[in-house]
Amino acid sequence: MVKRFTNIFILALILFSVANGQLLGSWSTGKNIARDIAISANGQLIVVGYRSCEADVINSLTKQNTLFQVHRLDINSVALSADGQTALSGSSDKFSYLWSTKDGTILKEFKLATRVNHVSINENASLGFAIDSVDDRILLDLNTGIKKS
């Protein structure tokens, strides 16, 4: 939710249950502007990619969040494996990274020709997909680290 008051933005993430409409949690993003959000298959982990180059990993059960410096420029897109253990992010720095949601460690890196606008990942985190700003579509083998055009 974004509310605007003069030149101040209040940013928050609010999670509701689709089944019953119950509020499951809310988190402030502080000064960060969220660019994309991904949720694990079981709904326990949420990853938020920020314009500040950082990614927030939020545990919806424990209400804990950890902020990681993942990229050098804006994060434009995030995707999360079904189990929530790994995330794939794409950035204006021309990189897509596969990284651990536990400690922020970069597991694989993929350099694209231009800004990465969108990423997605399959259920078991073996394949990724990235689209850059000139609409190049790249298949990413997340096991080997090989890009396939």
Tell whether 27 is covered by a domain: no
Number of separate domains in the chain? 1
User: pLDDT digit string (tens) for 98-122?
Assistant: 999 999 999 999 999 999 999 999 9
Residue-number span of the structural domain to which 109 is assigned: 33-148
Which domain CATH number covers 77? 2.130.10.10
What is residue 135's DSSP assignment? -
User: pLDDT digit string (tens) for 58-98?
Assistant: 998 898 999 999 999 999 999 999 999 999 999 999 999 99
Say what the pLDDT of residue 145 is.
Answer: 92
- Residue 13, by phi and psi: left (phi above 0), alpha (psi -120 to 50) or beta? beta
**Token code pair at residue 127:** 């394949």
Tell whether 97 is covered by a domain: yes
Share of the chain above pLDDT 70, in %: 92
Tell whether 15 is covered by a domain: no
What integer best gives the mean pLDDT of the chain?
A: 88
C-alpha to C-alpha distance for 55 and 51, rounded to whole angstroms: 9
